[in-house]
Structure 1
């Protein structure tokens, strides 16, 4: 990470009003309390962005492109092409799919780094104990880790 210090960002009042209407009005569930930890002070804070997902629910994401992403060294990792994948599958007769596309969100963030993921809402600041959407780097690191685990297993292909 570079020596440049991230800024403290506050979101517009309209967003706070929207958040109170759609999601953060309720108390956090026990599973959410393990991931989101209320903090009362932070040098760093990223604005929260509500994202409408396909099931009609709202996902709260940090807008890390304004803060942390500018200070990260991104791990570039290229994926297999569709052609490589289909060539490998051509001889198969049984197939399965495991969707791990968001599994990296379960990676625990080291205690000493959680303050970097702080985001602010109309209910205050929260640290995340797990990786969050919109961070540069974790998906590529996850892909590399999965490929290393599966490498060498006959008949196993990944994209």
Structure 2
């Protein structure tokens, strides 16, 4: 028997934990809690490293049992092979669950990235206003470029 179930069980466990971490990350982003954001980022990196390790083990097992081509290994080859197996329903279910969890994690991660991008843009705009050079307040130079207009009455100079 090919030892794939323990590998996919570990990946599934890591993906479940990653999903929880991503929700915590969203909460930390919403409250702008930088300590929590850093802590979650560190835990997220650790989990992703472990998922990479499990994926590498998965690839090694597939190559060892000649399930995928040594030089051109593709997920398609594994899925095709797995679909043909009659006694590996547990692995098939684990693979489906892992794929579903991975899609959820990608969706939540992309949402968090959008939230972070929005917060960064807003903070940058606020900082520019405090410094007196808002991105919309620019004039043309003799060479045709633009430069910000500096205000003598900015909060940053007060």
Give the alignment's TM-score, normalised by structure 2: 0.21
Structure number with higher relative contact order (C-alpha < 8 Å, ≥ 6 residues apart): 1
More helix by share: 2
More strand by share: 1
Structure ID, larger Rg: 2
